[in-house]
Chains A and B, each alone.
Chain A
Amino acid sequence: DVKVTQSSRYLVKRTGEKVFLECVQDMDHENMFWYRQDPGLGLRLIYFSYDVKMKEKGDIPEGYSVSREKKERFSLILESASTNQTSMYLCASRVYGSNQPQHFGDGTRLSIL
């Protein structure tokens, strides 16, 4: 079974801090994704990566950056956390190709105080 592991289930940080969310997958998937999930808005794509060292902006990249130095790891960075970034963050991976399923981690619930 594919396993996508997010480093923290819950995280509390302060406004202005630099925050790192880590995601690791164990199935050698090329594609990896970061979403945030808010009530009534569903999953919104922040950034995605087609392969190592590649990154593409999603629908809501402002205030975020990403890093993919190794194929199995995709990191989301909040450069200077703000209260409107309080949310559930979900990481996903999938094998390259059309119509492939995404495999999700269990999410990180991030609170910015």
Chain B
Amino acid sequence: TQLLEQSPQFLSIQEGENLTVYCNSSSVFSSLQWYRQEPGEGPVLLVTVVTGGEVKKLKRLTFQFGDARKDSSLHITAAQPGDTGLYLCAGEKNNDMRFGAGTRLTVKP
């Protein structure tokens, strides 16, 4: 059983569409991080959210940390083929970090 459940597991959309992926847990985290991993590479950090209810924007990407600090979402507006990749969330508590299984996003031109 994963400590962090990510959904959907796979997502295939057309360029220009909007999408949201989710990261849920029954545990409370001190912070939550989102990473993107492209084929043949290691994950790269996109954002860290720390405060319950926090919203961070990174160009077309909007990240939200749940009020109770148990869940998070990533919304992409007007997806582009360059957004294709594996999106991983990672929750930290007590200096211990655990990753979800990821959402594999494909954006078709």
Contact = CB atoms under 8 A, between A and B. Distances in A.
Interface of A: 4, 35, 40-45, 90, 92, 98-99, 101-107
A60 to B, nearest CB: 12
Given A98-B95, A104-B43, A43 B88 contact: yes
A42 B45 contact: no
The size class of the interface chain B forms with chain A is 20 to 34
Interface of B: 2, 6, 9, 30-31, 33, 40-45, 48, 50, 88, 90, 92, 95, 97-102
A45 B4 CA distance: 14
Given A42-B99, A102-B90, A103-B45, 20 more contacts: A4-B42, A35-B99, A40-B9, A40-B101, A42-B88, A42-B100, A42-B101, A42-B102, A43-B43, A90-B43, A92-B42, A99-B30, A99-B31, A99-B92, A101-B33, A101-B48, A102-B45, A102-B97, A107-B41, A107-B42
B102 to A, nearest CB: 6
Contacts of A43: 43, 88, 99
B27 to A, nearest CB: 14
Contact of B42 (A42, A90, A98, A99): A90
A98 B44 contact: no
A62 to B, nearest CB: 18
